[in-house]
């Protein structure tokens, strides 16, 4: 029950902050907009037989940038990651 109440309060704070910045979308609309930016992993094998995994965040669209800026969040929260196995 505590986690549910905490999540509800977090949602209210996010929506209030967005409203103060002029973004008045419903939560479902925000989720739909934000689902367009994803984290992608590309895997390949080099000539030495090593598997290389490259993980990066897709380019944010203008609607993403507007929402992130209103919330004070970076538009690309995670850095590019390369792992060689």
pLDDT tens readout for residues 38-61: 999 999 999 999 999 999 999 999
Q: Give the separation between CA 65 and CA 50, rounded to whole angstroms.
A: 36
User: Which helix (DSSP H) or strand (DSSP E) does residue 42 occupy?
Assistant: strand 39-45
pLDDT tens readout for residues 12-44: 999 999 999 999 999 999 999 999 999 999 999
Residue 7's domain spans which residues? 1-84
Q: Give the separation between CA 24 and CA 11, rounded to whole angstroms.
A: 13
Q: How many domains does the chain have?
A: 1
Burial (0-12, 13-18, 19+ Cβ within 10 Å), 67? buried
The reported pTM is: 0.76
Roughly what angle, to the nearest 10 degrees, separates helices 2-20 and 62-71? 110
């Amino acid at each position: 029950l505590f986690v549910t109440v905490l999540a509800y309060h977090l949602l209210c704070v996010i929506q209030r902050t967005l409203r103060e910045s002029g973004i008045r979308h419903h939560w479902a609309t925000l989720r739909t907009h934000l689902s367009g930016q994803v984290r992608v992993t590309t895997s390949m094998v080099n000539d030495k037989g090593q598997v290389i995994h490259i993980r990066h965040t897709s380019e944010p669209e203008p609607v993403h940038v507007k929402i992130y800026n209103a919330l004070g969040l970076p538009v690309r929260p995670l850095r590019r990651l390369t792992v060689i196995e």
